């Protein structure tokens, strides 16, 4: 495991950019408009399965070892997911949102494919410094990908992309030129970026102390055992946080909004 947050987040970021070319463009566009070299991340998100040694707690060790603390818990029944977020006492560090698929709730066909994938992993893989941006540790056929896709977009994404940041999230609160999410969305639309419209472009709002939007994932080639096909990779998210009654910015997540953000990796 990494011994500092800089190395960990740099590894995650470079891996993410390599398969998310639109994020690099959005990042440059925001830097240009904001007149700042640094774009602050609100959070990153990781996906995994609820299997022993690979569940959220297992992945989270990479963050808790660096001072992160488990915070909110979230339930996404229709997507068969549970999630937790972790945050650091130093709130300038990104929060981490990690979800796990309830493999036991899938069909036996899907469970078999996932078990076959996991069986190809080395026992101590999760302990490696770079595990959280190591991608797949298995080979999967395009047929298996399609079988998973029919049942769970999340499972299919994980089979193709493995362990890596599913998205990074720009903190609107830390931008200088922009203070409203809607203005950032307008800039992105004017520059021909595709935004996720599931549940509306903006998910949430002041009433739940968190407003979010996201691009649709890029389409990137994946080499399956039988053929290479382009499928959705990762997306970029934007979050604006509002003060709660006590005057402090809300630091949690809103399940109803996150439910729609997951759909940013849907095939469109
Ligand atoms: Ni997110």
Distance CA 139, CA 101 (A): 19
Please tell me whether residue 134 adopts helix, strand or coil conformation: coil
Query: Can you tell me which residue has the tokens 């096909």?
Result: 229
* Listed residue (163, 117, 175, 171) closest to 141, CA to CA: 117
> What CATH number did the domain enclosing 84 receive?
3.10.180.50
Q: How far is the CA of 169 from the centre of ligand 1 (A)?
A: 6
Q: Tens of pLDDT along 218-243?
A: 999 999 999 999 999 999 999 999 99
Q: How far is the CA of 259 from the centre of ligand 1 (A)?
A: 10
Q: How far is the CA of 223 from the centre of ligand 1 (A)?
A: 27
**CA distances to 6, 65, 115 from 93, in Å:** 10, 14, 34
Q: How far is the CA of 257 from the centre of ligand 1 (A)?
A: 9
Contact 234, 158 (CB under 8 A): no
* DSSP letter assigned to residue 218: P
For residue 161, what are the contacts with CB-CB under 8 A and spacing of at least 6? 19, 135, 136, 222, 233, 234
Distance CA 20, CA 223 (A): 16
Q: Phi first, then psi: what are they for 32, rounded to 5°? A: -65, -45
Which structural domain range is residue 108 located in? 5-265
Q: How far is the CA of 253 from the centre of ligand 1 (A)?
A: 8
Please tell me whether residue 171 adopts helix, strand or coil conformation: strand
Q: How far is the CA of 168 from the centre of ligand 1 (A)?
A: 7
Q: Tell me how many domains the chain contains.
A: 1
Q: How far is the CA of 246 from the centre of ligand 1 (A)?
A: 24
Helix segments in the chain, DSSP class H: 5-19, 21-34, 56-64, 108-119, 142-151, 153-161, 181-190, 255-261
Q: How far is the CA of 225 from the centre of ligand 1 (A)?
A: 31
Per-residue pLDDT in tens (0 to 9) along the chain, 268 residues: 889 999 999 999 999 999 999 999 999 999 999 887 789 999 999 999 999 999 999 999 999 999 999 999 999 999 999 999 999 999 999 999 999 999 999 999 999 999 999 999 999 999 999 999 999 999 999 999 999 999 999 999 999 999 999 999 999 999 999 999 999 999 999 999 999 999 999 999 999 999 999 999 999 999 999 999 999 999 999 999 999 999 999 999 999 999 999 999 998 7
State how far Cα 213 lies from the chain centre: 13
> Could you tell me whether strands 95-101 and 210-214 are parallel, antiparallel, or unpaired per DSSP bridges?
unpaired
pLDDT of residue 37: 75
Q: Is 195 exposed, middle or buried (0-12, 13-18, 19+ CB in 10 A)?
A: middle
Strand intervals (E) in 181-218:
203-205, 210-214
Six-digit token pair at 83? 């999630």
Distance CA 35, CA 32 (A): 5
Six-digit token pair at 3? 């011994």
Q: How far is the CA of 266 from the centre of ligand 1 (A)?
A: 15
Q: How far is the CA of 132 from the centre of ligand 1 (A)?
A: 16
Q: How far is the CA of 115 from the centre of ligand 1 (A)?
A: 27
Q: How far is the CA of 199 from the centre of ligand 1 (A)?
A: 15
Q: How far is the CA of 48 from the centre of ligand 1 (A)?
A: 15
pLDDT of residue 181: 98
Q: How far is the CA of 190 from the centre of ligand 1 (A)?
A: 23
Six-digit token pair at 96? 């981490």
Distance CA 168, CA 41 (A): 7
Q: How far is the CA of 215 from the centre of ligand 1 (A)?
A: 11
């Amino acid at each position: 495991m990494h011994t500092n947050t800089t190395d960990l987040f740099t590894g995650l970021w470079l891996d993410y950019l390599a398969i998310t070319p639109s994020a690099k463009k959005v990042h440059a566009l925001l830097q240009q408009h904001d007149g700042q070299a640094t774009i602050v991340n609100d959070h990153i998100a990781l996906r995994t399965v609820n299997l022993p040694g690979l569940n959220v707690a297992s992945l989270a060790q990479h963050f808790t070892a660096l001072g992160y603390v488990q915070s909110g818990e979230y339930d996404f029944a229709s997507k068969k997911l549970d999630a937790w977020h972790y945050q650091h006492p130093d709130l300038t560090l990104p929060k981490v949102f990690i979800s796990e698929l309830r493999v036991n709730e899938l069909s036996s066909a899907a469970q078999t494919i996932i078990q076959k994938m996991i069986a190809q992993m080395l026992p101590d893989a999760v302990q490696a410094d770079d595990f959280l941006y190591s991608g797949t540790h298995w080979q999967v056929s395009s047929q298996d990908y399609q079988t998973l896709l029919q049942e769970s977009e999340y499972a299919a994404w994980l089979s193709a992309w493995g362990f890596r940041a599913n998205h990074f999230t720009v903190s609107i609160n830390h931008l200088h030129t922009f203070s409203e999410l809607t203005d950032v969305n307008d800039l992105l639309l004017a520059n021909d970026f595709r935004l996720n419209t599931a549940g509306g472009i903006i998910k949430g709002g002041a009433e739940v102390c968190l407003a979010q939007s996201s691009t649709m994932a890029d389409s990137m080639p994946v080499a399956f055992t039988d053929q290479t096909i382009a499928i959705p990779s990762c997306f970029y998210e934007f979050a604006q946080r509002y003060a709660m009654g006590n005057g402090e910015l809300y630091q949690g997540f809103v399940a109803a909004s996150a439910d729609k953000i997951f759909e940013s990796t849907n095939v469109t």
